[in-house]
Amino acid sequence: MAVDAATAPSELGSSIRGEGEVAAKPLPSADAPAAQESLEELDQRYAPYARRDAYGPMGRGPLGAAEAARTAVAAAVLLPLRVVAGVLVLVAYYLVCRVCTLWVEEERAGGQGEGYARLQGWRRAWVVRCGRALSRAMLFVFGFYWIREHDRRFPDAEGKDLGQSELLERPGAIVSNHVSYVDILYHMSSSLPSFVAKRSVARLPLVGLISKCIGCIFVQRESKTSDFKGVSGAVTERIQRAHRQKNSPMMLLFPEGTTTNGDYLLPFKTGAFLARAPVQPVILRYPYKRFSPAWDSMDGARHVFLLLCQFVNYLEVVHLPVYYPSEQEKDDPKLYADNVRKLMAVEGNLILSDLGLAEKRVYHAALNGLSCRS
């Protein structure tokens, strides 16, 4: 399946209608510096990153008496229970990984970091089964008691001209919109893919061994040296291996490169599409009533605290059919990325935006400026 239309530049977003019709919304005027704009103007200009829940920008907005009391009770009762339960789940999976990697030599992934991506037999089976079960248990600890999943991976094939060889091809990567760190937990509970992580993650207690065991590719993102070619090559090699070998873990990639508030889809980077292999698009949505699980404009510790103090959190997932690139898309990764992005926006009712990580940093700096002046 393929989409031929590409996204038009120089627009803040696009409202998705009916059969993929797109209505462009131009950027607001940029006459005043961001730091001098009001909160409403900032939220309009940087809409993909704006929080609109009860806790306000950066999670520091004024709370009503009822909401403050609810949070205080949850912090006193629910938070300690969830922290203890989460640590127990983490330790349990660490012990599984420790047993499964006994007498196994670590693999060097293209010079980009160590791992155990080639675990085989009972070791790989236990890592996958326990990893999926315990990741779901961790989601339960975080308050995601029910997850609504819509599986569109096997649509009616009538009218489709798919060859038998294409039907048997396995995707090499999962491409997903990026809303929260919870995204990784969900994908681990669903298929336990490997992903790209900071090299420092490999040295963390408990988490380090787990990330090695599921075959993460570790990179030094803070490094100023030009190692993109090495990282890109390692990712491409891993995607091609997963595409060819059934027992190899697929790569999980967030082609937007950063998180949004969940209503928008940013431009896709091409890293997931250089391998010329089919990809599995997945769309994540986090409906909320008071606190949004989207991790967009607040520090990590505060976000985890408020998430654990939420009695119930909600997650909706849409699994789209495997996207098989055309020959033209295989030769043009940018076209491939744009077409997958367009499809995900239409199917997930997401708004296309041309903003990126640089604009997100400007928005955060402006919010900090407003916070300091208030």
pLDDT at 226 over 60: no
**For all residues of the chain together, what is the average pLDDT?**
83
Instruction: Label residue 166 by pLDDT band (50, 70, 90).
Output: very low
pLDDT at 223 over 60: no
CA dihedral (69, 182, 369, 351) positive or negative: negative
Q: Are strands 107-108 and 264-265 parallel, antiparallel or unpaired?
A: unpaired
Instruction: Label residue 153 by pLDDT band (50, 70, 90).
Output: confident
Residues 78-89: what's their mean pLDDT?
98
Examine residue 299 and state whether it is found in any structural domain, yes or no.
yes
Residue 371: Cβ within 10 Å count: 12
Query: What pLDDT is attached to residue 339?
Result: 97
Examine residue 260 and state whether it is found in any structural domain, yes or no.
yes
Which of 223, 219, 226, 291 has the alpha carbon at shortest distance from 253? 219
Query: What pLDDT is attached to residue 11?
Result: 35
d(CA 354, CA 264): 10
Examine residue 31 and state whether it is found in any structural domain, yes or no.
no
d(CA 190, CA 81): 25
Helix, strand, coil percentages (3-state) for the chain, rounded to 5, are: 45, 15, 40
pLDDT at 36 over 70: no
Burial class of residue 121, CB neighbours in 10 A (0-12, 13-18, 19+): exposed
Residue 169: Cβ within 10 Å count: 15
Examine residue 142 and state whether it is found in any structural domain, yes or no.
yes
pLDDT at 17 over 60: no
Instruction: Label residue 364 by pLDDT band (50, 70, 90).
Output: confident
pLDDT at 208 over 70: yes
pLDDT for 106-140, tens place per residue? Answer: 776 444 545 777 888 999 999 999 999 999 999 99
Mean pLDDT is lowest, of 18-22, 91-95, 244-248, for 18-22
Helical ranges in 101-220 per DSSP H: 121-141, 164-168, 182-190, 207-213
CA 119 to chain centre: 25
Q: Which residue shows structure tokens 């903003």? A: 355
Mean pLDDT is lowest, of 1-15, 77-91, 174-188, 263-277, for 1-15
pLDDT for 298-334, tens place per residue? Answer: 888 999 999 999 999 999 999 999 999 999 999 999 9
Examine residue 159 and state whether it is found in any structural domain, yes or no.
no
Residues 32-52: what's their mean pLDDT?
80
Bridge partner list, 113: none
Examine residue 212 and state whether it is found in any structural domain, yes or no.
yes
User: For residues 114 and 157, is the Cβ–Cβ distance under 8 A?
Assistant: no
d(CA 282, CA 201): 25
Instruction: Label residue 39 by pLDDT band (50, 70, 90).
Output: confident
Domain count, the chain: 1
What is the residue range of 191's domain? 46-153+170-372
Query: What pLDDT is attached to residue 9?
Result: 33
Mean pLDDT is lowest, of 60-64, 164-168, 288-292, for 164-168
For residue 270, what are the CA distances in angstroms to 226, 330, 335, 343?
Answer: 17, 11, 9, 16
Q: pLDDT > 90: what percent of the chain?
A: 59
